[in-house]
Amino acid sequence: MPEKPLLSELIDSLRCLPGVGPKSAQRMAFHILQRDRAGGARLAAVLAEAVQSIGHCRLCRTLTEDEVCGLCSNAGRDDSVLCVVENPSDVIALEQATGFRGRYFVLGGRLSPLDGIGPTELGIGLLRQRLEELSPRELILATTTTVEGEATAHYIGELAQERGISITRIAHGVPLGGELEFVDGGTLAHAFAGRRRLAPD
Amino acid sequence: MPEKPLLSELIDSLRCLPGVGPKSAQRMAFHILQRDRAGGARLAAVLAEAVQSIGHCRLCRTLTEDEVCGLCSNAGRDDSVLCVVENPSDVIALEQATGFRGRYFVLGGRLSPLDGIGPTELGIGLLRQRLEELSPRELILATTTTVEGEATAHYIGELAQERGISITRIAHGVPLGGELEFVDGGTLAHAFAGRRRLAPD
């Protein structure tokens, strides 16, 4: 008899998933074993292959199982605009919500010297190289508005400025449909200070 | 290039888990790939083995990778009390919460002729056999209070009654610490009708 039943082992392993506690893990394990063994088998196979073979795109550092990701290898994208984001999930969010047709660069984090995350960890060397190769007209900074995100944006902005590239930052403010009274103070102050003239323009 | 990126494949596969929608599946995939590949690899391996080799206990029908589960093979358990539950997760819940030291029998559902679940699907034949083998003094019915659960309890109760086994049903009523005003009407009516005399007893 094994030291630990396989079922407990499975429940334990499921807890590596974010937001999954002991109760959810147990529910997931029983669901798979009692109702969806085929789905479980497929998940096991895909997951094993994914952790094994998904790496980073050689050009933009997003997650992909190919050497160059689908977006970078797409010849129809506009080389003259480069959008810098923190995470691969940001690329998906922008692709789904915007009509952006340019290139991306994924930092994989933000500058945080205390956590040992410096320019090397964010692939700034590769970003320089991409700026040389693409020589974009515009660099869009889409990092977060945390202190580290702003520092990262500032750092990359300077890098681009040296090359005479025009730099933009995505707008931060009150979300669409957001009631002013429920928006946090920081966002509201930011939105107020960053107000735009409508007329006469 | 494959027809579908492995990352989308992984996000899709994660949706076989209960309560996991597109957003959570994406978050899980990125979490594993960016922060916990070791956990992901372990999950893949354990899951593959679990869907492959976890079956049902030959005696009580609970989920186990052995022929006979740990509870059934434990010689220290009391053969004179048999508790009938609907699901393997009920066994875990009872083991954790109660000091019950008897045997279990897992139906794997409840009688529901419309869904094609009859005595055969619930392993009633095996239950009869267990009643012969163990000849328990008491049979505890721990099925749910749904219409099907009650019908199942009634059916199994008759089976045991033929053999002169004393039959008990776990108590249903107001949960501990439950405020009466927030308890549903059915439970409250049940608890009121099933009130117990305290004094003189």
CB contact under 8 A, B45 and A45: no
Question: Which residues on A lie below 8 Å from B39 (Cβ)?
Answer: 13, 16
pLDDT classification of B1: cutoffs 50, 70, 90: very low
Name which of A20, A27, A51 to mutate to probe chain B: the one with the most chain B Cβ atoms within 10 A of its Cβ: A51
Distance CA A40, CA A107 (A): 33
Has residue A58 been placed in a domain? no
Is residue B180 in some structural domain?
yes
Q: What is the mean pLDDT of residues A20-27?
A: 94
| A127 in Cβ contact with A159 (< 8 Å) | yes
Question: Pick from A107, A116, A196, A197: which is nearest to A152 by CA?
Answer: A107
Residues of B in contact with A13 (CB under 8 A): 39, 42-43, 46-47
Per-residue pLDDT at B201? 62
Contact at CB, B40 and A16, closer than 8 angstroms: yes
Amino acid symbol at B158? E
Per-residue pLDDT tens over the stretch A57-95: 999 999 999 999 999 999 999 999 999 999 999 999 999
* Contact (CB<8Å) A32/B51: yes
Give the tens place of pLDDT for each residue, A119-153. 999 999 999 999 999 999 999 999 988 899 999 99
Sign, CA torsion A91/A95/A100/A102: positive
Residue B188 has pLDDT above 90, yes or no: no
Query: H or E element: which one contains A140?
Result: strand A138-141
Query: pTM for this structure?
Result: 0.82
Residue A97 placed within a domain: yes
Can you spell out the DSSP letters for B158-183?
Answer: HHHHHTT-EEEE---SSPTT--GGGS
What SS3 class is residue A105?
strand
Residue B116, chain A, CB below 8 Å: the answer is: no
Residues B78, B117, single domain; the answer is yes
The reported pLDDT for the residue numbered B185 is: 86
Q: What is the mean pLDDT of residues A154-178?
A: 89
CB within 8 Å: B10 and A87: no
pLDDT in tens, A100-113: 999 999 999 999 98
For chain B, say whether A29 makes contact (Cβ under 8 Å): yes
B32-88 pLDDT per residue, tens: 999 999 999 999 999 999 999 999 999 999 999 999 999 999 999 999 999 999 999
User: Residue B79 sits in which domain range?
Assistant: 63-197
Is residue A44 domain-shared with residue A116, that is, in the same domain? no
CATH number at residue A23: 1.10.8.420
Q: Which residue has the tokens 């749904």?
A: B146
Asked whether residue B58 is domain-assigned, the answer is: no
What CATH number does the domain containing A174 carry? 3.40.1360.10
Whether the predicted pLDDT of A201 surpasses 80: no
Measured CA distances, B161 to B28, B108, B164 (Å): 51, 22, 5
Predicted confidence band of residue B3 (pLDDT cuts 50, 70, 90): low
Residues of B in contact with A1 (CB under 8 A): 66, 70
Regarding whether B96 and B10 lie in a shared domain, the answer is no
User: Any residues with CB less than 8 A from the CB of A79 and at least 6 apart, and which?
Assistant: A102, A103, A134, A136
Integer Cα distance of B173 and B180 in angstroms = 11
Percent of chain A beyond pLDDT 70?
98
Does A118 lie in the same domain as A85? Answer: yes
* A6 in Cβ contact with A40 (< 8 Å): no
CB contact under 8 A, A47 and B7: no
Q: Average pLDDT of B1-25? A: 89
Tokens of A105: 């660069």
- Looking at the fold, whether B154 and B80 belong to one and the same domain comes out as yes
Two structure tokens written together for B7: 């990352």
* Residues in Cβ contact with B30 at an 8 Å cutoff, skipping those fewer than 6 apart: A63, A87, A88, A89
Task: Say if the Cβ atoms of A47 and B50 lie within 8 Å.
Answer: no
In a domain, B1, yes or no: no
Verify that A91 and A11 share a domain, yes or no.
no
As a whole number, the mean pLDDT across chain A is 91
Which domain-ending residue is among B53, B77, B92?
A: B53
Inter-chain touch B70–A1, beta carbons under 8 Å:
yes
Co-location of A98 and A141 in the same domain: yes
Q: Which residues of A touch B51 (CB under 8 A)?
A: 32-33, 37, 40-41, 44
User: CA nearest B59: which of B125, B12, B143, B115?
Assistant: B125
* Helix, strand, coil percentages, rounded to 5, for chain B: 50, 15, 40
Q: Do A43 and B108 touch (CB under 8 A)?
A: no
Nearest by CB to A13, which of B2, B26, B42? B42
Do B100 and B160 share a domain, yes or no? yes
- Domain contains A1: no
Q: Is B68 on the interface with A (CB under 8 A)?
A: no
Identify whether residues A45 and A68 lie together within a single domain: no
Q: Which of residues 127-166 of A touch B (CB under 8 A)?
A: none
CB-CB neighbors (< 8 A) of A39 in chain B: 13, 16
Percentage of residues in chain A having pLDDT higher than 90: 74
Q: Name the packing angle between helices A147-162 and A124-134 (round to 10°).
A: 40
Q: pLDDT tens-digit profile of B110-134?
A: 999 898 999 999 999 999 999 999 9
CA Rg value for chain A: 22
A18 and A110: one domain? no
Do A124 and A32 belong together in one domain? no
pLDDT value of position B41: 97
Q: What is the pLDDT of residues B130-176, one digit of tens each?
A: 999 999 999 999 998 889 999 999 999 999 999 999 999 998 888 88
Please check whether residues B160 and B76 belong to one and the same domain.
yes
- Return the residue matching tokens 């096991």: A44
Q: Count up the domains in chain A and report the number.
A: 2
Instruction: Say how far apart CA A182 and CA A184 lie, in whole Å.
Output: 6
Closest by CA to B129, choosing from B60, B57, B67, B55, is: B60
Question: What does the pLDDT look like over B87-104, one tens digit per residue?
Answer: 999 999 999 899 899 999
